Structure 1
């Protein structure tokens, strides 16, 4: 019961507290990234009362869910694992595993596509959502792991520069240094994940060492990304690197 309560609180906060584009109407300038690629739809996102609606099927299927449309009742049902979400056109109420939720805006039918609140679906399916501008382009990232904040990849005096001689340098945490969230060498992998969340990539490399990689906001299929990497041995951090 307590776990369900905390899930409910988290979903509510995700729906009402984070910023969104404020314009109204269709917005074909808004780009949506779902994990490793852009979300391409034949109907552009709809901005209603500061909330973003997108076609239900492309987003849900990219997140590994199935989608069923009932034309008679004008309802859409999204299922993934033990999660069932149901919307009805024009109704500002959704059900999540049978429990009713007030939506910030009602789903709409636009050019034959069911437009539903992006943040609600993404959060309900266990995703992280971030809105920001990439230079002047409004973008939304829907990711399975949280993105870094700008401060996380700022090069502070706790780091020293390493010149590889090929390509840009990288920055390595000093033995006595700490990251902006307080991780030091020899801290545990558990502490890293508690402070930064699950990594974008977790890879086993040489000698059984494990590398946890976290990404900043990024453009898919490009080098336009900053990373924060923790190399760990026997469950402890032995190296921290920032790359731009």
Structure 2
């Protein structure tokens, strides 16, 4: 299927980041090579941490957040209850009409969304996807939670989408639409949303970090990300902001 694959992050404190992603987010280690560790869910790689202890965080294009898609509302409720019990800080909880999402950050400030999708037939009318931002009914989501304690991300969890700070939103959007052959889904003040297969979005780009700011793949934060697609040969591309994309062949369902 066409989708976002593994997100690669440069991190300063690998041990602390591993503790967060394993103990708080419930990821499990799938691979380790030198100073690089890959984590995922039920054997599916989601995140690779590259230990870069001398790297600095530089304001620029790059990660706004990556978004981990859970299989169900019951899974999201279970995760939210886990976060509440551990008193882990969050940044917000939103109902986007197409989805319900919890927002947080890792210890080095990388944005994370944990979400579940509603059924596609609920996303809009006449083929038009409607996305909004309203307050999530957290109590109702938690009431739907699986009864057992959260320990690890469940089977069926994938990297649902990635949201990027772009140097120039129109230029970035043209790249994803024209070069990567995505479909335009929606506009938001300062942002555009695009996808394959009429999903609500696989990639979003925004101007909220400022106009003209370049990416710094050697700095802390986003190093690169994978995109499974059938419209380009396997290889590496760089978007107009300088963000590195590793194209992988998609297996279409």
TM-score of the aligned structures, taking structure 2 as reference length: 0.23
TM-score of the aligned structures, taking structure 1 as reference length: 0.24
Higher RCO (CA 8 Å, separation ≥ 6 residues)? 2
